[in-house]
Amino acid sequence: MSAAGTPTHCPYCALQCGMVLRPGGTAGVEVTEWPDFPTNRGALCGKGRTAAELLAPAGRLTTPLVRDGRGTPLRPAEWDEALDRVAGALTATAQRHGREAVGVFGGGGLTNEKAYLLGKFARVVLRTPNIDYNGRFCMSSAAAAGNRAFGLDRGLPFPLEDIAWTGCVLLVGSNLAETMPPVQRYFTAQRERGGSLVVIDPRRTATARAATLHLQPQPGTDLALALGLLHLAIAEGYLDEGFVAARTTGFDAVRATAMEHWPERVERITGVPVPLLRTAVKLFAQAPTGMVLTARGAEQHSKGTDTVQAWINLTLALGKAGRALCGYGCLTGQGNGQGGREHGQKADQLPGYRRIDDPDARAHVAAVWGVDPDELPGPGRSAYELLDCLGEPDGVHSLLVLGSNPVVSAPRAAHVEERLRRLGFLAVADVVLSETAELADVVLPSAQWAEETGTTTNLEGRVILRRKAVDPPALVRTDLEIISALADRLGHPGGFPTDPERVFDELRRASAGGPADYAGISYQRIAAEQGVFWPCPSVDHPGTPRPFLDRFATPDGRARFVPVRHRPVAEEPDAEFPLYLTTGRVSAQYQSGAQTRRIASLVEAAPSAFVELHPHLALRLGVDEGAAVQVTSRRGSAVAPARLTDTIRADTVFMPFHWPGAGRANSLTNPVLDPTSRMPEFKVCAVRVEAAG
């Protein structure tokens, strides 16, 4: 690493803030600003500022580990022994139970190159359909709705900077102030220019407190809320009939469903007073431009796809899509959540966002991979379904996990943990000994972020380049090297390069002609242009920051309205479980916390789980601030200190999900799935709360 530093990107969330790594600090590497990088302009949150501490050897894996038998401790091993064990176990499982009994579980933090090579490894070497990734738990409902309505899931169909210039933003189920603080600059600028921000969230979060208007619906009722706003928009004459006629199809059926959701009915369902509904729709409709942005609060439901569709329907009906400073967008969460869902580690996809059940897509990708299309497996099990079948007679018996920690992050986590323990064989490649790695038969220490080069695709669809700044510890290997070594041992010595740029060049060919076309993107272009927006089909193509200005990506170029109706959450409160639980994040921790729970300053800022509850509820339960409370759902219990706040509804409690053990929020969550996206209902379930004995 030169004294001038290495420009790269944060290892955590989908904003992928630019930063420059320089020699210095306790880990020998220091995070400094990259003032010119266009998304964050030098700003970083606490996680990004402390990211270099992850590179220090303390607390991370520095050698392979193997277990000699169930019940015996993990012990250090040579790479050859560890890799031989993995290859031998995967082969034995396939021979004994069939290829489908071998599973692969990836992560939304893996680079595009890793996600691509992992998908190819599963389909070409293991020939199993059972590969999926934890990004399924993140943005899959928005992706499904975006594909259905626009013919393309591009996260945000505009650069973040457009937010600063739009007239009104409806922000649904997002607490940006905690999850992506640097992005707030665009919202602040937007309001300074006279724009308005309407936040829809069951909690009065820091983001909601800064808004023009906050609507605080009952958890799980966003779909009804969107339908009610559309009803009012139609009734009050705000419909953009010209746009609907020229750029969309299917509005008549949507009008009929909206008219079934009159304001008083929606007030009864959501708890949001009719006058506030009227104010919200007026702010959005009367603004000359506007955007609707959703995040996990709207999406992580068993009706997440339809909920997002309802917001898209509202956006389209008011003509606020397909033109400058307008549109619907998903605020992707994980670092490479967008790229991770484009290049083949998802059960139903091939690289380039192609469908694995599309014969043309199979033929194209098979030609790039040099295999017969008929040899490629079909669609496999989605993430939760894959975890739920572990160890079952007709399920997965051997699992390879890369960069994911489902023991903490999966719904109904105690059940998933039990399934992982029942597996015939579990191998985990990760940077740290996560709670999932602790259960493994073989643990492979991976290089991370600043120790390797690779691309990610941020929430804007901008493909960016993480550059290697330092060497990994001596006995640590990159995930590409691990995949390549396993492919070698499993009889595929070619086709799995370890050089990330070679992998990316192959990915470009595999994606060419697909919806997420990277063919024209190169490492050189990314460096020179500070990222390139896909689709970018040729080297002389400028990239596509705003894909829907002229036409949508459907066959007829029109956006599709799809009728959707309100339906209750899968688990309504009752006498036994009388409250709603909703889950989410805090600013100092990231996802399952496997990395951030090892950074001292982040632990100091957010040391453990807590249960947020309204003072009225606390009074009724006889619970004081800081007292231990037990939260129980039909799936299990969690115990954590009470945090009293009047920013939450009195019928709802909140828990962050970053911690394992007694405070594990996902011990409680409901794995019921959205029928389209296969997203679990993380955001709402019925619970009972009591003072812990």
Binding positions for ligand SF4, rule: CB under 6 A: 10, 12-13, 15-17, 40, 44-45, 47-48, 180-182
Nearer to ligand SF4, 219 or 333 (CB): 333
Is the distance from CB of 49 to CB of 600 less than 8 angstroms? no
In whole angstroms, give the CA distance from residue 620 to residue 288.
47
Nearer to ligand SF4, 13 or 244 (CB): 13
Least separation, in Å, of the C-beta of 159 and ligand SF4? 16
Least separation, in Å, of the C-beta of 3 and ligand SF4? 23
Is the distance from CB of 427 to CB of 483 less than 8 angstroms? no
Nearer to ligand SF4, 590 or 610 (CB): 590
Backbone angles phi, psi at 592, to 5 degrees: -75, 0
Least separation, in Å, of the C-beta of 455 and ligand SF4? 15
In whole angstroms, give the CA distance from residue 635 to residue 418.
13
Least separation, in Å, of the C-beta of 274 and ligand SF4? 37
Is the distance from CB of 471 to CB of 452 less than 8 angstroms? no
Name the helix (H) or strand (E) containing 501: helix 500-511
Q: What is the DSSP letter of 56?
A: S
Residue 191 CA, distance from chain mean position: 28
Least separation, in Å, of the C-beta of 619 and ligand SF4? 37
Least separation, in Å, of the C-beta of 470 and ligand SF4? 18
Nearer to ligand SF4, 221 or 336 (CB): 336
> CA–CA distance from 303 to each of 89, 346, 518 (Å)?
39, 20, 32
Nearer to ligand SF4, 524 or 601 (CB): 601
Least separation, in Å, of the C-beta of 566 and ligand SF4? 33
538: number of Cβ within 10 Å = 9
Residues sharing a CB contact under 8 Å with residue 445, sequence separation 6 or more, in sequence order: 60, 61, 62, 63, 64, 429, 430, 431, 473, 475, 476, 477
Nearer to ligand SF4, 181 or 680 (CB): 181
Least separation, in Å, of the C-beta of 149 and ligand SF4? 27
In whole angstroms, give the CA distance from residue 496 to residue 328.
38
Least separation, in Å, of the C-beta of 600 and ligand SF4? 17
Least separation, in Å, of the C-beta of 199 and ligand SF4? 18
Nearer to ligand SF4, 13 or 281 (CB): 13
Least separation, in Å, of the C-beta of 12 and ligand SF4? 4
Nearer to ligand SF4, 12 or 654 (CB): 12
For 62-110, give the secondary structure using H, E and C: CCCEEECCCCCCEEECCHHHHHHHHHHHHHHHHHHHCHHHEEEEECCCC
In whole angstroms, give the CA distance from residue 346 to residue 153.
14
> Cα angle at 10 between 4 and 15, to 5 degrees?
125
Nearer to ligand SF4, 246 or 600 (CB): 600
Nearer to ligand SF4, 181 or 543 (CB): 181
Locate 14 and state its tokens: 């989908």
Nearer to ligand SF4, 12 or 496 (CB): 12
Least separation, in Å, of the C-beta of 456 and ligand SF4? 10
* Collapsed DSSP state (helix, strand, coil) of residue 7: strand
In whole angstroms, give the CA distance from residue 519 to residue 549.
22
Nearer to ligand SF4, 15 or 521 (CB): 15
Least separation, in Å, of the C-beta of 324 and ligand SF4? 26
Least separation, in Å, of the C-beta of 185 and ligand SF4? 11
Residue type, 81: E
Nearest in space to 683 (alpha carbons), one of 333, 177, 437, 340: 333
Residues sharing a CB contact under 8 Å with residue 422, sequence separation 6 or more, in sequence order: 390, 391
Nearer to ligand SF4, 587 or 676 (CB): 587
> For the chain, how big is the Rg over CA atoms in Å?
24
> CA–CA distance from 83 to each of 77, 130, 297, 364, 375 (Å)?
10, 21, 40, 31, 25
Nearest in space to 82 (alpha carbons), one of 396, 405, 426: 426
Locate 240 and state its tokens: 């953009």
Nearer to ligand SF4, 270 or 409 (CB): 409
Nearest in space to 201 (alpha carbons), one of 584, 564, 572: 584
